[in-house]
Amino acid sequence: MTHPGSAAAQDAPNHPLARRMGLIAWLSHNVIIGSVFGTPAVLLRPMQERMNVSAELASAGVPLVMIGSAVLASVAGVLAGRFSLRSLMAGSALAAAAAWLLLAFSTSFVAYIAAYGLLLGPAMSLAGVVVPPTLVTRWFNRNRGLAIGVVHLPVIVAIMPLGGNWVIETYGVETLFLGLAALSGLVLLPAALLVIDHPPGETAVTAMQIADDTPAHSGSLSVPQLFRNRHFWGLALAVSAMNTSVTLLGVHLVAMAESWHFPSERGALLASTMSLCGMAGSILFGIIVDRIGGGRTVALVVFNGMVLWLLLLLGLPFPALMAVIGIMGMHGAAGIPAASRAYADVLGAASFSRAYGLSATITLPLTIACIIGAGTVYRITGQYTVMLLVMAVYCAIAIPLALFGARGRPQAALNLA
């Protein structure tokens, strides 16, 4: 929820370099996210053969990145508040390039774990998750939510499977790894070196204070202060409901379709529909965030999520089911612009990177529990009814939490801390 005192700041024109910084943020997010999440399907069989391991072990890379990224996100948020975004992004580009080079020249499973867990995980938490929205938050006063939505359009994720599969079939998996290393080292690294941490003539702190229109003495909230802040917890738990919904659906959607007696091809079609609609949702909810504020957008998304999860209980025919899944995909893409704007609105833009990273870390166990629990319940009962009801209840609980969190103000947040 945007407070009245910030209206002038939000109407202030963006610096002429803001679009360039937005483009670099888009490149950072897309290169890291696209190379990690756009390749698992095409790498599964080649990595089984290359390392001579089972499918379970060959598919361990992405879960390692996800866990490592979420665990490190709170640290990444602190680093983004203390150190140059240019150096953090450049370091992440080098780490990602090193990871892909390691995979290109090694067939060891230990090297595989190190590449994903020790190199790509930190790179994801910084250049993929925390730095891009932080850069946008610092540079954009006007249409900030839309800018964050555009920056997080998953373009490379959409094209990487087809492109990666062609490279593997034509030139081999080593060439794909070398290409991914070049994408990080020869494209993202030079772009990272062009990053300007904040608008000229402003320090990082004053740039953030101008963005949220808080007094100079407001400063930013430390991690311990965030832990004691009730509005932060309200937003973090509500945002977790959004993120858990889209993650859970992404993991279990094909199996859910099969449980509803649809063939696996239709389950894959539902998954593609969700991804494609998510790209539109990133723009749509970026616009909505700028109109009604971050906290209210979070409340709107979880309210709609509650309704959509309940609709899945009705045994819908496939066309109606595909429409519901498409709408859920659009709402899933709302998470980043809504959460980014909400934390900046409520806790102050100077506290944004810490709040964004910390929330990802502390809510990870809840998301993992929901994903594992859904699989366990399905294995025992053979259906997803319980999961659908649990997610509907979770979203319902998140509605008042989001509205409570949206009531916070940057100055009030400091007083509450």
Residue 166 sits in the same domain as residue 303? no
pLDDT of residue 343: 85
Dig out the tokens for 299 from the structure. 């409340």
Residue 271 sits in the same domain as residue 323? yes
Nearest to 403 by CA among 246, 291, 220, 237: 237
Report the Cα 414 to chain-centroid distance in Å: 27
Listed residues 171, 198, 225: the one ending a domain: 198
pLDDT of residue 98: 97
φ/ψ of 22, rounded to 5, equals -65, -40
Does 222 reside within a domain?
yes
Residue 157 sits in the same domain as residue 69? yes
pLDDT tier for residue 347 given thresholds of 50, 70 and 90: confident
Most confident listed range (66-75, 107-116, 399-408): 107-116
CB 240 within 8 A of CB 363: yes
pLDDT of residue 408: 64
Distance CA 331, CA 280 (A): 10
Residue 124 sits in the same domain as residue 223? no
Residue 192 sits in the same domain as residue 222? no
Tens-place pLDDT, residues 11-51? 578 888 999 999 999 999 999 988 887 787 678 778 888 99
Residue 194 sits in the same domain as residue 219? no
pTM of this prediction exceeds 0.85: no
pLDDT of 265 over the 60 cut: yes
CB 411 within 8 A of CB 286: no
Q: How far is CA 355 from CA 44, 217, 287, 397, 402, in A?
A: 35, 19, 22, 21, 15
Residue 119 sits in the same domain as residue 223? no
Listed residues 198, 224, 240: the one ending a domain: 198
Does 288 reside within a domain?
yes
Residue 264 sits in the same domain as residue 397? yes
Residue 272 sits in the same domain as residue 409? yes
Does 254 reside within a domain?
yes
pLDDT tier for residue 294 given thresholds of 50, 70 and 90: confident
Q: How far is CA 219 from CA 11, 173, 210, 350, 365, in A?
A: 22, 49, 11, 7, 30
276: containing domain: 215-416
Does 1 reside within a domain?
no
Does 128 reside within a domain?
yes
Q: Average pLDDT, stretch 86-98?
A: 96
End-to-end CA distance of the chain: 19
Residue 276 sits in the same domain as residue 407? yes
Split into its structural domains, the chain has a count of 2
